[in-house]
Structure 1
Amino acid sequence: MEFKSHKVIVDSENPFKNDRLNRQPHVDNFSTLLENISSPIVLSVNAPWGQGKTTFLEMLHAQLAIKEHNSIYFSAWETDFASDPLQAFLGEINESIETLINGDEEKNKAWETTKKAGSHILRKGLPALIKVGTAGILDAEKIIEDESSKVMEGLTKDFLSEYTKNKEAISQFKSGVSKVLSNEGSPSTRLFIFIDELDRCRPTYAIELLERIKHLLDIEGLVFVLAMDKVQLSHSVKGIYGDKFEAIGYLRRFIDIEYTLPESDLDAFIDQLYINFGFNDFFQKRMQYQEFQYDKDHLKDTFKLLANAKKLSLREVEQLFAKINLVIQSTAENIYLYPSLLAFLIIAKEYHYDNYNDYINKGDTPEKLISDLYAMIPLSELLGSHSCALVESYLIGAKYDDYNNTVGDSLKRHEDIENDESSSKEQKRYSDKIVQISTSFSGFRNSISLDSLKQRIEMVESFQFSS
């Protein structure tokens, strides 16, 4: 069984080979838009953390490459160690630009001019920043020689040439890029540049990158596509300019068109995770025991219900699955797992910790966790949900035995509904199911071993899960 789900691999020749979430129609539509849109332009792909922006961009990048468009993929987060985003950007795209030049002497000269101009722009900003940061103790020129030249090595021999006016350098920079993209008698060559994980960067780096794109790379032929969590990035902006700063409006200055990534099909994603983690194999082995015949479906159905109700991101779902996976791997195939209860408790521990802790560690009655369940699922849906009935029944049943009955009023409430003539058929049917399942756990042989389940769940906290 796998410990973690692996990153989606986007095949450069078949981008949708591993498409878990049916992204192809959205990628096809977006790529058609890019092919027909005028430049220069900056588009953003906006979605919360963990919703698949990187995979979407990688598919889009591969799709355009298959159509023989010039495109570059640039991970901002992987390069935010650089002093200036322009420095990292030139370093990352240098190799790709060579294919555009294709031996053209004039374009090659233009690109060399661009790199020199970029060096001058960098050189103007770096010394001041370094002197401020070190109170003038360090020699800025020496640092530039030692550090910046390493990053820019191979791009230009004139990185530390004499300082020229910044305005002239910017003009030369733009002119050089334009010449590289130019086609005599035809529109400029399109160059699609995908910038990913902007919201994960250092706040100053992310803002500087946006500034560079807006002021230095506003050039005919360039089409930028930025993947970002706009809300998270706005927090970064406020971290620099203050809480009262109108961050969303500030970000709009840099973006011409904003595209919101459609919500993911969580059910399809969970089905795929079942395969990735090897859950199907685990539950298949348990099928030999009559009591475990429905464990596979109970876990999947309950988790789908709760994940959709809480609108969890893909990454949150994946991390919760990794925790469930650890519990499963520590459970023998002939041991009761109570998968519906397991799924609920894992989620409750993550998002309703106080109520989870009171229930699992302090002998509390189930009412508070049951209230959390009812808050997640609309009553009309809950009354018809077998998964909800299982979760509520197990929460009650785990506290219902002959020696330590701590169910509180949770069971009596359903008994009253059964006997109340004013109750609807749906309410009576649901409550009847709760009473039957909950009371079936009475007695030592039939009781739910909450301590055993707790130990496996608590064991998960000894492991760290990367985001």
Structure 2
Amino acid sequence: MGKTKKKQEIEIQPFVTVYYDAWMNDNDEDPVLSLVLAILQEIDGLTSLENERGILDLAGNVLDCFTGRTVKGVLDSLRGTPPLENIKKAKDLESKIAAFFESILPERGNRMVVFIDELDRCKPDYAIHLLERIKHYFGNERITFIFSLNMDELQHTIRKFYGNDFDACRYLERFFDFRIELPKPDMRRFYDGIGLENGSWVYESVCKQVVEMFNMGLREIAKFYRVAKTVAYKPTHKEHDQWLFAFSDGTGRQFCFLCIVPLMIGLNMCDRPRYNKFIQGRDGSPLIELLKIISGLTEYADYEI
């Protein structure tokens, strides 16, 4: 018999991970300030910053470039929202940032991974500023930035700043080494997760058609159905009301609940100008469009639209 191969042991290297919500910070004058503070807050959850004088001194040097605050001010900032006054630039900012990160990594991990979320929702100038800052000042090979975003939306944001003719796609290629597209979500499971039933209720079916009509994202869908369920769930989920597309005299109220209410919620969320015209009676095209779509829901109705 041959010799049994010895299993190769895999050494797991510790990582320092930081989550940064760009949209929540896009009122900052400079993204470096909130990025450094986010990293300090993460480290404070692992060890006590009170005993890390070297790190705090280096962090203080970076933050002083923006706020003029001392190390004590850095500690204070961890307990509240830091003021963003008297922002100033410093020629040696890059070296100070490099020294700050070199002081963090040796004892805490082999690599730092910073997750940047919601960049595509930021104001155009802040999104560009954040990308440029990371490109120029965070060049440490042991730091990896992972962006979770909608690339199409981010390109749209960039064009808002530079103009519609600007090549936003080529511009963004400067900042991202690898791009991984996530598979499309399983909408049936997603609907189940937010409580949007997949049974035979007409209201749920109309809500789904409104979602498709306005091409809503997942966050928008969850918000839309939360409002739609609050407004009209009870009057549209009675066992004896499942036939209500075949409404007769006096049941127009049910048509309003089944069709007009979800349509108005969708319009209000996704197209305010058309919503205003619709509720003022100046544009009925959204309802006509929806009725054409749901005319195929014959499995739920005897009434042919």
Into which bin does the TM-score normalised by the smaller protein fall?
Answer: 0.5 to 0.7
Q: 1:301 to 1:95 in 2, by over 3 A?
A: closer
Q: Secondary structure at the match of 2:104?
A: helix
Report sequence identity in percent: 22
* Secondary structure at the counterpart of residue 180 of structure 1: helix
Match of 2:30 among 81, 84, 98: 84
**Partner of residue 73, structure 1:** 19
Equivalent of residue 327 in structure 1, options 232, 245, 249: 232
Aligned pair partner of 2:220 in 287, 299, 316: 316
RMSD, matched Cα: 4.8
For residues 285-339 of structure 1, give each alpha carbon's deviation from its aligned partner in whole angstroms, at most 9, with x where no partner exists. xxxxxxxxxxx52347735863786564323332342314411235695773657
Question: Which of residues 237, 241, 245 in structure 1 aligns to 2:162?
Answer: 241
The separation in 1 between residues aligned to 2:283 and 2:93, in whole angstroms, is 68
User: Quick check: 1:117 aligned with 2:62?
Assistant: yes
How far residue 116 of structure 1 moved from its aligned partner, in angstroms, is 0.3
Indicate the residue corresponding to 2:300 in structure 1. Answer: 390
Among residues 128, 136, 139, which one is paired with 1:218 in the alignment? 139
> Does the alignment pair 1:173 with 2:83?
no
What is the rounded CA distance, in whole Å, between the counterparts of 1:111 and 1:182 in structure 2?
Answer: 15
**Per-residue deviation, 1:82:** 1.8
Please state if 1:228 is matched with 2:228.
no
TM-superposed CA distance for 1:172, in Å, is: 2.9
Cα 1:389–1:368 change in 2 (3 A) is farther
Shift of 1:86: 0.8
TM norm structure 1: 0.46
Query: Cα gap change, 1:307/1:313 in structure 2, threshold over 3 Å: closer, same or farther?
Result: farther
The separation in 1 between residues aligned to 2:49 and 2:73, in whole angstroms, is 25
1:336 — aligned with what? 241
After TM superposition, give the deviation of residue 94 of structure 1 in Å.
1.0
User: Measured at CA, do residues 338 and 214 of structure 1 come closer, stay the same or move farther in structure 2, by a change above 3 Å?
Assistant: farther
Pairs within 5 Å for 1:44-193:
69-98=15-44, 108-110=53-55, 112-120=57-65, 122=66, 152=74, 154=76, 166=91, 168-182=92-106, 189-193=110-114
- What is the SS of the residue equivalent to 2:113? strand
Residue of structure 2 equivalent to 1:274: 195
Cα–Cα, structure 1 residues 362 and 248, in superposed 2: closer, same or farther, change >3 Å?
closer
1:254 to 175, 193, 213: 175
Q: Which has the larger radius of gyration?
A: 1
Count of aligned pairs between the two proteins: 267
Shift of 1:84: 0.9
- Which SS does the other structure have where 1:259 is aligned? coil
Change in 2 beyond 3 A, CA 1:155/1:371:
closer
Structure 1 residues 301 and 326: alpha-carbon distance in aligned structure 2, compared to 1, 3 A threshold: closer
Higher relative contact order (Cα pairs below 8 Å, separated by 6+ residues) = 1
Please give the residue correspondences for 1:381-460 in structure 2 after superposition, counting only pairs within 5 Å.
Answer: 387-390=297-300, 393-394=302-303, 396=305
1:190, CA displacement in angstroms?
Answer: 1.2
Q: 1:265 aligns with which of 179, 186, 206?
A: 186
Counterpart amino acid of 1:269?
Answer: F
Amino acid corresponding to residue 135 of structure 2 in structure 1:
K
* TM-score (normalizing by structure 2): 0.66
Secondary structure in 2 matching 1:182: helix
Whichever residue aligns with residue 173 of structure 2, its letter is R
Does the CA contact (< 8 Å) of 1:198 and 1:206 recur in 2? yes
Separation in 2, partners of 1:339, 1:202: 45
1:302–1:344 Cα contact (<8 Å) kept: no
Quote the offset at 1:196 in angstroms. Answer: 1.4
Decide whether the 8 Å contact of 1:87 with 1:152 is kept in 2: no
Quick check: 265-274 or 90-99, which moved more?
Answer: 90-99
What are structure 2's unaligned runs of at least 5 residues?
Answer: 1-9, 79-83, 246-254
Matched letter for residue 71 of structure 1: T
Cα offset, 1:97, TM superposition? 3.0
Distance 2:298 2:57 in 1: 65
Mark the runs of 5 or more structure 1 residues left unpaired by the alignment.
1-34, 37-63, 124-143, 281-295, 375-381, 397-467
Q: Which amino acid aligns with 1:390?
A: Y
1:196 corresponds in structure 2 to 117
Question: In the superposition, relative to structure 1, how do residues 215 and 323 fare at CA in structure 2: closer, same or farther (>3 Å)?
Answer: same
Q: Indicate how the Cα distance of structure 1 residues 180 and 331 shifts in structure 2: closer, same or farther if over 3 A, else same.
A: closer
Q: Secondary structure at the residue paired with 2:195?
A: helix
Aligned to 1:410: none
Deviation, 1:85, is 0.7
The CA distance in 1 between the partners of 2:207 and 2:89, in whole Å, is 61
Aligned residue for 1:191, secondary structure, equals strand
Provide the C-alpha distance between the structure 2 equivalents of 1:304 and 1:164, rounded to a whole number of angstroms.
Answer: 51
Instruction: Give 1:178's aligned amino acid.
Output: E
Structure 2 residue matching 1:243: 3-state secondary structure: coil
Change (3 A) 1:338 1:248: farther
Match of 1:415 in 2: none
Deviations 1:347-382 (A, max 9, x none): 55546979xx69x99999x986553447xxxxxxx6
